[in-house]
Structure 1
């Protein structure tokens, strides 16, 4: 699907959707429809390592309720023990639900630590474009193995996409290959909606195609009037300021299995903390 087709779809009125039923008609304390807005801590990658506790405290003040971490130099828990990190999150009124990590190294330990504090997911954040389609089947096999380790520890495994898996390669979508060759009992998927749109695909159609496989999403906006091409410079902007029609897309997501809505900021128009503060303000009042 080309960009023009996608924009026509995403700009159409959602007349056929019962918006009030998508999230049970409930609104969050912030006045919007998302109950527990999350943030991927990579959004604050330049600030977080300098003062993890101070930055997390600010994040909580912006109205975020869920945290998705990633592996920095001091691990997923930023120099704290897993149990101490959980306690600090609880004290701030937040929950760590997931983390991006390398599932090919020391994964048994990571899964055990995540399971001990009740995390829901460990997530592979990146594969890169593979040389051939069989390599995506091998990746799916590795996901199944990681999923079994996660299951043993009371959590689940997921894969986070970039644009390459939603671009045709030898006539097939790598995303299809990974989803068809991974076990739904063991592996879920985190849809980075920015990258799906950047590849010229429609997030809602993919969620419809694989109902209840996409359990988490990255909500990341795209600058208006920017070119869509493979290998382009990142064109993300403050959520709510760009071209992606999140009111329409997110209204469809819940009924198709989405459970966790996680803001991610990759490119900055101002200070990172200001970007994620504005994004939270937009999403916490968004009603759909």
Structure 2
């Protein structure tokens, strides 16, 4: 099924126009001119600290809280989403630190209903598919447009599971979904064939730029579909290995004040820092620099 966002906007147009009349119009005009403000909260994708975290999960997360992060996004390591703790134990630990787990990347093909239930039980907002890849692992062949439509159907099914549990499902992009197949972008195919009531998207802004796309154009085109974002800077002198182009926030080439302002205006809810390469120090040092940048940011 093709979920036509344009049709939705057209049918809602007359209502939107009516609401803009009178005092509401003044409020909207005032809102558009609001002065930039600091983010009320921002998070860290724990994969940033993948080399340190498994050795001492509690100690590392304490340091993350001390840096000023109020949210975390986990990932499924060898000890699971909750790093060897029960979900309720993990939440209690985070409560002591004044930090929340809002989401986690996970393997969506194994025990997904259990993961959704455990996530919902502690107030998490999202479970996220981190990667599908441009190659079908079964056939070893490049994915086709039909493959991406099948992926979208599976995302809808996972979204149903999450909805029943009381959380949301989302997909996190890399650059491969912005490379055309038969004149179409897989990212468009996945977004247009998923139900907005069931599936949101986490836009990794670094990978959008790496894929040669304009993040602001995507945020505007798919307003309210991107609810989370990965804030990750890209070096001004990129090398062929994209894994080595990640750099401390504020020192790279991505115009985050402008991009995140657009994100905020188009439905963004969660701003998650991620860094994968650390040319200026250790991962913990990089996370601290990134936190300072996010604190200073006004959008």
TM class by shorter chain equals 0.7 to 0.9
For residue 99 of structure 1, give the secondary structure of its aligned residue in structure 2: strand
Contact kept, 8 Å, 1:121 with 1:156, in 2: the verdict is yes
1:155, 1:24 → 2: CA distance? 31
Query: Residue 8 of structure 1 aligns with which residue?
Result: none
2:206, 2:32 → 1: CA distance? 22
1:194, 1:90 → 2: CA distance? 31
How far has the Cα of 1:59 moved from its partner? 0.1
Structure-2 change in CA distance of 1:24 and 1:98 (3 Å): farther
Task: Name which one, 1 or 2, has greater alpha-carbon Rg.
Answer: 2
Given the alignment, which residue of 95, 98, 103 partners 1:93? 98
Q: Deviations over 1:37-94 (max 9, x none)?
A: 1000000000000000000000000000011000011100000110010111111010
Query: Residue 258 of structure 1 aligns with which residue?
Result: 268
Query: Residue 286 of structure 1 aligns with which residue?
Result: 297
Query: Residue 44 of structure 1 aligns with which residue?
Result: 49
Structure-2 change in CA distance of 1:26 and 1:85 (3 Å): farther
Query: Residue 246 of structure 2 aligns with which residue?
Result: 236
- Structure 2 residue runs without a partner (length 5+): 1-27, 136-142
2:208, 2:57 → 1: CA distance? 31
Contact kept, 8 Å, 2:36 with 2:298, in 1: the verdict is no
Given the alignment, which residue of 245, 252, 255 partners 1:245? 255
- Give the TM-score normalised by structure 1: 0.88
Structure-2 change in CA distance of 1:191 and 1:61 (3 Å): same
How far has the Cα of 1:185 moved from its partner? 0.2
1:80 equivalent to 2:85? Answer yes
Query: Residue 75 of structure 2 aligns with which residue?
Result: 70
- TM alignment of 1:168-179, pairs within 5 A: 168-179=180-191
Let me know the Cα RMSD of the aligned residues: 1.8
Structure-2 change in CA distance of 1:24 and 1:156 (3 Å): farther
- Give the TM-score normalised by structure 2: 0.85
Q: Deviations over 1:161-193 (max 9, x none)?
A: 000001212211000000000010000000000
1:216, 1:154 → 2: CA distance? 17
1:36, 1:136 → 2: CA distance? 34
2:122, 2:62 → 1: CA distance? 20
1:136, 1:23 → 2: CA distance? 40
For residue 128 of structure 2, give the secondary structure of its aligned residue in structure 1: strand
Contact kept, 8 Å, 1:23 with 1:254, in 2: the verdict is no
- TM alignment of 1:151-230, pairs within 5 A: 151-226=163-238
1:21, 1:161 → 2: CA distance? 31
How far has the Cα of 1:283 moved from its partner? 1.0
- Structure 1 residue runs without a partner (length 5+): 1-17, 28-32
Structure-2 change in CA distance of 1:113 and 1:25 (3 Å): farther
Contact kept, 8 Å, 2:74 with 2:104, in 1: the verdict is yes
1:39, 1:167 → 2: CA distance? 28
Structure-2 change in CA distance of 1:147 and 1:22 (3 Å): farther
Structure-2 change in CA distance of 1:26 and 1:244 (3 Å): closer
